[in-house]
Each structure stands twice: as structure tokens, then as C-alpha cells.
Amino acid sequence: MEGDIAQLGQYIGAGIAGMGAGIAALGVGNVAGNFLAGALRNPSAAAGQTATLFIGIAFAEALGIFAFLTALLLMFAA
Amino acid sequence: MEGDIAQLGQYIGAGIAGMGAGIAALGVGNVAGNFLAGALRNPSAAAGQTATLFIGIAFAEALGIFAFLTALLLMFAA
Amino acid sequence: MEGDIAQLGQYIGAGIAGMGAGIAALGVGNVAGNFLAGALRNPSAAAGQTATLFIGIAFAEALGIFAFLTALLLMFAA
Amino acid sequence: MEGDIAQLGQYIGAGIAGMGAGIAALGVGNVAGNFLAGALRNPSAAAGQTATLFIGIAFAEALGIFAFLTALLLMFAA
Amino acid sequence: MEGDIAQLGQYIGAGIAGMGAGIAALGVGNVAGNFLAGALRNPSAAAGQTATLFIGIAFAEALGIFAFLTALLLMFAA
């Protein structure tokens, strides 16, 4: 058994952080899913809420990208 | 016991990140599921929301692909 | 097997904290998703609740950023 | 393999506690999301419940900050 | 590898307990969120239920504080 044991942690940690990116997709899915559910009930109002849809997706997506960034930092920078 | 212990972490981490890709499918499922629920309630409006459906799927899918990318990087690049 | 074992913990911990950032995206998604669901049911009232939308997103986002901050501190400061 | 094994635990524990901050964002999201869903159904009543909104957010946020505090204590004080 | 291995357990346990504080925020969020959802549907009845709201928040919050207390005890007293 050889190798730097700290790298063991880096790689396991990167994997866990990568899982976080996947979990964030649930949040994005909630935003887009609720938009679609509402837009199909009331299509004429959908166009006026497109900006809010992207705001909601952007904030949830940002947290998922933070998780992915943590994975990248662990693999290549830490 | 031989072999590089850092690889142990790489493979475990890749597996955890792969799980993240699966979790992201839940988010994609929320988007598509809500679209279908709405489209079947109001079929005439479904065609107008197809673009939104793909936008929502794309953002959730992207986070799942980030998780998959983390797994690939752990296996072949880190 | 070599290296500082404390770093092992730092990196695994950073990954777990990074996952927390992803989980916080679920909370953000709940806020934005409920806003969209309501705004499409009652579009005329949506403009009056935009401030509340951002308050809700901000508080949930802050906790996700705390998780990301924990990851960064573990990687680079602890 | 060198280093103090107790630090290993401190750092892994800090990461797990940091994840708790992210989970608390779900609670905050539930409060704000339900407020928005209700406020858009009955906008005239929303102003009277703003105080309750902030009370709910504050209590949930406080628990998320306790989790973040646990992470900070583990990293820098324990 | 040096140090007291029992401390390893104390610190990891404290982190897990800190996560519990975050999870309790979900319970607080459910109480406040459901109060808001109901109060906005029937505003005239909301004032009469404020006491119940605080009872519900207090009990859920207490459990989160117990989790935080567990973390503190593990770090500094156990």
C-alpha cells in the first residue's frame, strides 16, 4: 500500500461534492416543473413569468455549480 | 496489500459522483412529469410550452452531467 | 502510505460541505417554484410579491453559501 | 501516515455540520415558498402575515446558523 | 498516526449532531409554512392560531437546539 493518503480524501471528497451537483438538479427541477405546471394551466400568463423562471433556475443552478466547483478544487487545486 | 491507496479514493469517489448523476434524474423527472401532468390537463397549450420543457430539462440535466463529469475526471484525469 | 492524515479529513469534509451547497438548491427551488406556481395562477398579484421572492431566495441561498464557505475553509484555511 | 488523528475527526465533522447548513435551507424554503403560494392566492392578506414570514424564516435560519457554527467551532475552536 | 482515537469519534459525532440541527430546521419550516399557507387562505382565523404557531415552532426548535447541544457537549464536555 503506497501513495499519499491525503489524496484518498481529495478524491472521495470530490465524489461527494459531485453528488451535490446532482442534488441541486432537484431544486432546478422544482422551479422548472412548477413553471410548466402553472403555464399549462394558464398559458396566457406564462410569457410574463419567463424572467422569474430564469431567476429561480439561476439561483438554484448557482448552488449546484458551487458544489461542482468544490469537486474541481478538490481534484485539481487543493 | 499493494497498489496505490489514492486510487482507492478515486474509485470510491467516482462511484459517489455517479450516484449524483442518478439523483439529478429526479430533477429532470420533476420537470418532465409536471409538463406531462399539465399537458394532459390542457393539451392545446402543450405545444406552446415545449421550449420551456427543454430549457428546464437542459438545466437539470446539466447538473447531472456535471456529476458524471466529476466521476469521469476522478477515473481518468485526477 | 504517507502524508498528513489530518488533510484526509479536510478533503472529505470539504466534499461533504460542498454537497450541502447542492442541498440548499432544493430550498431555493422550493421558493422559486412556489412563486411561479402562484404567479401563473394569479398573474396580477405576482409583481407585488417579487420582493418576498427575493427575500426567500436570499435567506435560503445564504445557507447554501455558508455550506460552500465551510468547504472553502476546510480546503484552504483550516 | 502522520499527523494528529483527532484533527481528522474535526475536519470530517465540520464538513458534515456544513452540510447541515445546507439542509436548513430546505426549511427556510418551505416557509418562504408556502408564504408565496398563499400570498399569490390571496394577495390582500399577504401584508398582514409578513411578520409571521420573518418569524418562520428566522427560527429556521437560526438552526442553519447553529449548524454552520458547529462547523466553525470544529475547525477553529475544538 | 498519533493522538487519542476517542477524540476522533467525538468530533465526527459533533458534526453529525450539527447536521441534526439543520434537519430540525425542516420541521420548523413545515410548521411555519403550513401556518402561512392556512393563514393566507383564511386570514381572519390566523390571529387565533398565533399561539399554536409559536408552540409548534418552539417544540421543533427545541429539538434542533438539543442537537446543537449534543454537538457542543461532544466537543467541549464529553
If one compares D61 and E5, the residue with the highest pLDDT of the two is D61
A1 in any annotated domain: no
Pair C64, C28: CB distance under 8 Å: yes
Residue B31 domain flag: yes
In chain D, residues with a C-beta closer than 8 Å to the C-beta of C16 are 12, 15-16, 18-19
The C-alpha angle with vertex D12 and arms to D10 and D14, in degrees rounded to 5, equals 65
Which residues of chain E register pLDDT less than 70? 1-2
- Distance from C-alpha of E75 to C-alpha of E57, rounded to nearest angstrom: 27
The amino acid at D13? G
What pLDDT was estimated at residue D18?
A: 93
Tens-digit pLDDT string for chain C (78 aa) = 577 888 889 999 999 999 999 999 999 999 999 999 999 999 988 888 899 999 999 999 999 999 999 999 999 987
Would you state the pLDDT for residue D33?
Answer: 94
Could you tell me if C32 and A63 are in contact, meaning their C-beta atoms sit under 8 angstroms apart?
no
Selected for mutation to probe chain A from C12, C30, C36 (highest A CB count within 10 Å) is: C36
Instruction: List the 15-74 stretch of C: residues with Cβ below 8 A of D.
Output: 15-17, 19-24, 26-31, 33-35, 37-39, 41-42, 45-46, 48-49, 52-53, 55-57, 59-64, 66-67, 69-71, 73-74
- B4: helix, coil or strand? strand
Residues of the domain holding A40:
12-76
SS3 C4: strand
Distance between CA atoms of C17 and D67, rounded to whole angstroms? 11
Q: Over 90: is that where the pLDDT of D64 sits?
A: yes
Diameter over CA atoms, chain D: 65
Q: In b/e form, how buried is each residue of E8-27, taking b as 16+ CB within 10 angstroms? A: bebbbbbbbbbbbbbbbbbb
* C63 within domain boundaries: yes
**Largest interatomic CA distance in chain B:** 65
| Residue B1 confidence (pLDDT) | 58
CA-CA-CA-CA torsion sign (D49, D54, D55, D57): positive
Q: What confidence tens digit (pLDDT) does each residue in D27-46 have?
A: 999 999 999 999 999 998 88
Residue A14 and residue B45 in contact, taking contact as beta carbons nearer than 8 Å: no
Q: Which residue of C has its CA nearest to A33?
A: C33
pLDDT at A1 over 70: no
C7 to chain A: which residues are within 8 Å by CB? 5-6, 9
pLDDT value, residue A3 = 73
pLDDT in tens for each of the 78 residues of chain B? 567 888 888 999 999 999 999 999 999 999 999 999 999 999 998 888 899 999 999 999 999 999 999 999 999 987
Please report, as a single letter, which amino acid is at residue C62.
Answer: A
Chain C hits for D9, Cβ within 8 Å: 9
Q: State the chains in contact with C (3 or more Cβ–Cβ pairs under 8 Å).
A: A, D
In terms of CA atoms, which chain A residue is nearest residue B37?
A: A37
Decide: helix, strand or coil at residue E77: coil
Q: Flag whether the ipTM exceeds 0.85.
A: yes
Q: Do chains A and B touch (3 or more CB pairs under 8 A)?
A: yes
Residue A22 lies inside a defined structural domain of this protein: yes
Strand partners, D4: E2
CB contact under 8 A, C9 and D4: no
Q: Which residue of C has its CA nearest to D36?
A: C35
Q: Give the closest-approach CA distance of A55 to chain B in angstroms.
A: 12
Grid cell 442553519 in the structure block, residue: D64
Number of structural domains in chain E: 1
CB contact under 8 A, A53 and C36: yes
A16/C20 touch (CB, cutoff 8 Å), yes or no: no
pLDDT at D1: 59
pLDDT at A11: 93
> CATH number for the domain including E17?
1.20.20.10
Are C68 and A73 an interchain contact pair (Cβ–Cβ within 8 Å)? no
Each residue of A22-69: pLDDT tens digit? Answer: 999 999 999 999 999 999 999 888 888 899 999 999 999 999 999 999
> Cβ of C51: how many Cβ atoms within 10 Å?
10
- The answer to whether residue E69 is domain-embedded is yes
pLDDT, mean of residues D10-38: 94
Please tell me the distance from the alpha carbon of residue B1 to that of residue B20, in angstroms, as a whole number: 30
